[in-house]
Amino acid sequence: MSFQKPKGTQDILPGTVEKWQFLESKARELCRAFNYREIRTPIFEHTELFQRGVGETTDIVEKEMYTFLDKGDRSISLRPEGTAGVVRAYVENKLYAEPDVTKMYYIGPMFRYERPMAGRYRQLHQFGIEAFGSEDPALDAEVIALGYTFYKSVGMKQVRVEINSVGTPEVRAAYRDTLLAFLAPMRDSLCKDCQARMDRNPLRVLDCKVDQDKFADAPSLLDHLDEACSAHFAAVQRYLTDMGIPFSVNHRLVRGLDYYTHTAFEYKADGIGAIDTIGGGGRYNGLVGQIGGSDRSGVGLGLGLERTLLILEAQEVEVPTGEPLDVYLVGMGERAEQVLPRILYELRLGGLQAEKDYLGRKMKTQLKSADRLQARYVAILGDEELERGEIALKEMATGEQRSVALERLAETLLASRR
């Protein structure tokens, strides 16, 4: 019997995983610069967390979660997104007691039962950040800027930032009747999902991808913001302009999650068919209180790593696939072969990437292996060289070969990196 990976998943193999590591290292570098610390939360949580945090009327909760009963008859779900789990950890571990703004990031898999297509997987991976404890619009701008800078730092071209304000629950409640009046005449022509959303959460109709072209003349929520919401949104725009972050205002942008307040935003880029959204986020004042904590304001983002790599590939951006091997050791003779493992280990302890043959192959075949591994040098040790305490060092790029003292091999290789 043969086995295959589940539909909507992928094996990330050597040769490709290095590209993922490149993205992850860029994310970690940025988070250090922006003073975000890493958090790692469980891959599964109690289902109620996502129902309360993400929203029961969202597509994620209604259609896309992997939910099951554990052996204790408890409803458990694989995490479909990162924010709810981070908020739960923030509350449970009383991180709100910290005197400063709490800023955290995560990198890991999420799970959604969606129809697989280019850029859409049932196990997807996200890089996300969350910041708690401040309502300052400058923090919104910081979060947006970090995401934009991430995309630029990995080489992505023509990244677009779209922003909107979704106000507060009170503002949206007042806007609801205006939006329903606009939608009512076209109700029968809308998709079934939108018809259901009209009754349960009309604002999410604007997030529909099927009927998007029908909402061009929809009343703008921006026209219904109160003074405080308008001032907050204006400040976010001013800070982004001051930072030199290009953006446009999209008054129909609402995102697919219920917890957003004030600022909502998305990053867009062309390159994977009909899908152009590659990440997004927003402010979520009130979510900490919904999940059981003493309420604190929050803002964050989630960026899809699969989509990032697909866009980079479409844009023909060269992504590093790892550092070349420093040296490949070749033994010629029984005594030389016996000491090679010790030399190899010492080189590795010295910070060098080193390898040797374990298949008993001839020297010519070993040199081909060194070339495949992109080794910068091949170090050849014979029994006679061992007697003299020397080793032959060949530079693969030039073919130049010289003898160096065995005790200075690591020093010589490290110096060649500079």
Pick the closest to residue 379 from 392, 388, 366, 389 (CA basis): 392
In this prediction, residue 257 has a pLDDT band, given cuts at 50, 70 and 90, of: low
In the prediction, which pLDDT does 411 show? 95
In this prediction, residue 280 has a pLDDT band, given cuts at 50, 70 and 90, of: very high
Domains of the chain, residue spans: 17-167+225-314, 327-417
Average pLDDT over residues 194-204: 75
In the prediction, which pLDDT does 55 show? 65
- At 98-125, the pLDDT tens digits run 899 999 999 999 999 988 888 789 999 9
In the prediction, which pLDDT does 34 show? 98
- At 80-89, the pLDDT tens digits run 999 999 999 9
In the prediction, which pLDDT does 57 show? 55
In the prediction, which pLDDT does 136 show? 97
From 34-48, 190-204, 381-395, the region with the lowest mean pLDDT: 190-204
- At 337-367, the pLDDT tens digits run 999 999 999 999 999 999 999 999 999 999 9
* CATH T-level assignment (fold) for domain 17-167+225-314: BirA Bifunctional Protein; domain 2 (3.30.930)
> What are the strands of the beta sheet with 248-249, ordered from one edge?
37-38, 102-111, 123-132, 298-304, 275-283, 261-272, 160-165, 248-249
Average pLDDT over residues 45-67: 80
Distances (CA, A) of 10 to 121, 123, 279, 409: 8, 8, 20, 41
CATH number of 327-417: 3.40.50.800
Q: Is the pTM of this model over 0.85?
A: yes
Average pLDDT over residues 392-409: 95
The C-alpha atoms of residue 410 and residue 256 are separated, in whole angstroms, by 55
Please, what is the average pLDDT of the chain? 91
138-143: long-range contacts (C-beta < 8 A, 24 or more apart)?
Answer: 138/235, 138/239, 139/101, 139/299, 140/232, 140/236, 140/239, 140/262, 140/263, 140/283, 140/299, 141/236, 141/239, 141/240, 141/243, 141/245, 142/34, 143/281, 143/299, 143/300, 143/301
